[in-house]
A and B are shown apart, each in its own frame.
Chain A
Amino acid sequence: MTSKNKWLSTPYVLWSVMFIIIPLGMIFYYGLTDRTGAFTLQNITAIATAEHAKALWLSLLLSIISTVICFLLAYPLALILSNMKVNQHSFIILIFILPMWMNFLLRTLAWQTLLEKSGVINSVLNFLHLPNINIINTPYAIILGMVYNFLPFMVLPLYNVLSKIDKNVLNASRDLGANSVHTFFRIILPLSIPGIISGITMVFVPALTTFVISTLLGGSKILLIGNVIEQEFTQASNWHLGSGLSIVLMIFIILNMIASAIFDKEGEGSML
């Protein structure tokens, strides 16, 4: 790299120092000090208290379930898309991305209105004399919200990596006598691992840290770790504990990223 090229990165370096490095430093400063400013690990070890541990466990559980559901929905779709002709698949991808043009919060609020006891879905079910569904303010509604909001982040990297698989490799596999099940498990699936890892990261991380979805669709009755942290800042004015718990959450995110780095050596799936 020439010195001229390095100079071009200045805007981004400035940006990341101002909006990534400094805020991260502040989180570590608050997380590792107490009210008087003295060093303490209490804000970190606070994760072990019953309420925090339960919230973290519930967050992990719900985000893992959501990630699995997203994967099961997205993989077949991405497979179909990658076999389509160019003009067909771009239309379907557009349909998939279209909801993302709307604000994330509005979409979640819409689900609230849809799922309410006297909401749109139940009104329709009543009209058809079908039993109502009552999942609003339960963990099921939160999972639904997570899957709905984060599904595109799973579809796109999977589609990206699947469409790049050389068709000659598949033809060669058939030539050599493999049936389609064999081809899938021995050729397609291993080649798509970078996309799978990247999709999992992009769904799992926001699902783990969300507090908006659980507030709106869980009726604030289900406390996720994101809600605990949000409350420490907005209601309890305890920035130290909030930052300490954020550091704990970062550890889980970093673990996830290390896993991606190991599997995704070629960086193929990381591009959206």
Chain B
Amino acid sequence: MKKRNKTMTLAVLALSFPMVLTGCGSTKGSANGEVIVYNWGEYIDPDTIDMFEEETGIKVVYDEFETNEIMYPKVESGAASYDVVCPSDYMISKMIENDMLAQLNFDNIPNARKNIGAQYFEQSKSFDPDNQYSVPYCWGTVGILYNKTMVEEPITSWAQLWDEKYSDNILMQDSVRDAFMVAEKLNGFSMNTVDPAELETAKNSLIEQKPLVQAYVIDQVRDKMIGGEAAIGVIYSGEAIYTQRENPDLEYVIPEEGTNVWIDSWVILKDAPNKENAEKFIDFMCRDDIALKNFEYITYSTPNDAARELITDEDIKNSDIAFPDLSQYHNLETYVYLGEDGDFLYNNLWKEVKSN
């Protein structure tokens, strides 16, 4: 769910599309072969890659994507043969459905079972029912970030995003699933519904809200909230710690109607050329000191309990934002893949909202 670099993607797409064609493919000889990793942009501490190369002698070919939807066709077409990919929950279920993933041999990934909390494997079952294909890497919630000096009462509910007194002070997420999730939770529906009547209601809510919305943005929620440009914004929990550090007036809350719990997990592709090295890479990423390094670098919640124990800053270690106790919230859901028809339905309704 990492979307920091969308703007730069736009730039690259708009200005130099043909140049993206060269990606990876260099196979420089290395003592123990190589592993080709495809991860979200800015989603790893680069030092950990160097450490992996040094310790194992395996060369890492590293490539980045900006959205699940951009990643999928590239992996599916086989235009570039990747070993390890880090998609989000619903995309993993789509890849499982289309038989693109290899079953993991957890004997070769001992750190995963040892360090990753059991509850995260449990949560993963919504998209990977037998925990055969994925190892959680980062997780978080979607919630509301608000500026304490700009609101009259504490924000606790999605319904406050429909409050007219915050007109032109609201930032919504500019992505289909996240925008609809807010409207679906507001109306008490599941965020994975494909019921046309429920979706119609959700769409009408979003249309009703549109005049109040200042802008639909993705990564810019951070900067606009830090700058005091808007009072309320929908944001990923992983960005909340960073924004609070920059502007102490900001507060993050998981709305009472419930929200989305997302998990980005490591998977290995079925036709991966370097399966063994891929398992070594995932195992290395699950090591407590490495997971800690990555957490400190990207500030997205780690499912690695052993790494959490190593956090020295007590405030962060016990932070409700970074590590909320999920049992105290009800109605938390994880996205699942809705099928091609479901996606089509959502996208058409989203276009109706946007063009209204």
Interface residues of A (CB under 8 A from B): 19, 35, 50-52, 54-55, 103-105, 109, 116-118, 137, 211-212, 215-216, 219-221, 223, 227-228, 230-232, 234-239
* Beta-carbon contact of A219 and B215 below 8 Å: yes
* B23 proximal to A (CB < 8 A): no
> 16 more A-B contacts (CB under 8 A) besides A220-B215, A220-B354?
A51-B355, A104-B11, A104-B14, A105-B10, A105-B15, A116-B227, A118-B228, A118-B229, A211-B10, A212-B10, A223-B351, A232-B347, A234-B67, A236-B343, A236-B344, A237-B73
Considering the chains assembled together, what is the distance between the CA atoms of A116 and B228 in angstroms?
Answer: 11
Considering the chains assembled together, what is the distance between the CA atoms of A234 and B18 in angstroms?
Answer: 16
User: How distant is B348 from chain A, measured CB to nearest CB, in Å?
Assistant: 8
Chain B residues with Cβ below 8 Å from A117 are 168, 229
* Beta-carbon contact of B217 and A223 below 8 Å: no
Chain A residues with Cβ below 8 Å from B120 are none
Interface string of B41-73 (1 = CB under 8 A from A): 000000000000000000000000001011011
Known contacts: A137-B214, A212-B11, A220-B216. The answer to whether A51 contacts B18 by CB under 8 A is no
Known contacts: A105-B11, A238-B344. The answer to whether A116 contacts B229 by CB under 8 A is yes
User: How distant is B81 from chain A, measured CB to nearest CB, in Å?
Assistant: 21
User: How distant is B97 from chain A, measured CB to nearest CB, in Å?
Assistant: 14
Known contacts: A105-B14, A231-B347, A237-B343. The answer to whether A220 contacts B174 by CB under 8 A is yes
Interface centre among A35, A117, A211 (most CB of B within 10 A): A117
Considering the chains assembled together, what is the distance between the CA atoms of A235 and B228 in angstroms?
Answer: 29
* Beta-carbon contact of A50 and B69 below 8 Å: no
User: How distant is B341 from chain A, measured CB to nearest CB, in Å?
Assistant: 10
* Beta-carbon contact of A235 and B67 below 8 Å: yes
* Beta-carbon contact of B355 and A54 below 8 Å: yes
Closest to B76 in A: A237
Chain B residues with Cβ below 8 Å from A236 are 69, 176, 343-344, 347
Known contacts: A221-B213, A235-B175, A235-B176. The answer to whether A216 contacts B73 by CB under 8 A is no
Q: What 4 A-B pairs come out closest when comparing CB atoms? A: A219-B215, A220-B216, A236-B347, A105-B11
* Beta-carbon contact of B216 and A219 below 8 Å: yes
* B352 proximal to A (CB < 8 A): yes
* B79 proximal to A (CB < 8 A): no
Considering the chains assembled together, what is the distance between the CA atoms of A234 and B69 in angstroms?
Answer: 6
Give residues 126-184 of B contacting A (CB, 8 Å): 168, 174-176
Option from B13, B216, B348, B352 in Cβ contact (under 8 Å) with A221: B216
Considering the chains assembled together, what is the distance between the CA atoms of A137 and B170 in angstroms?
Answer: 13
Known contacts: A118-B227, A212-B11. The answer to whether A219 contacts B344 by CB under 8 A is no
Considering the chains assembled together, what is the distance between the CA atoms of A236 and B70 in angstroms?
Answer: 10
Known contacts: A105-B14, A219-B215, A237-B73. The answer to whether A51 contacts B344 by CB under 8 A is no
Chain A residues with Cβ below 8 Å from B70 are 234
Q: List 18 A-B contacts (CB under 8 A).
A: A50-B355, A52-B351, A103-B11, A104-B14, A105-B15, A216-B7, A219-B215, A219-B216, A219-B217, A220-B216, A223-B351, A228-B351, A234-B9, A235-B67, A235-B69, A236-B347, A237-B73, A238-B347
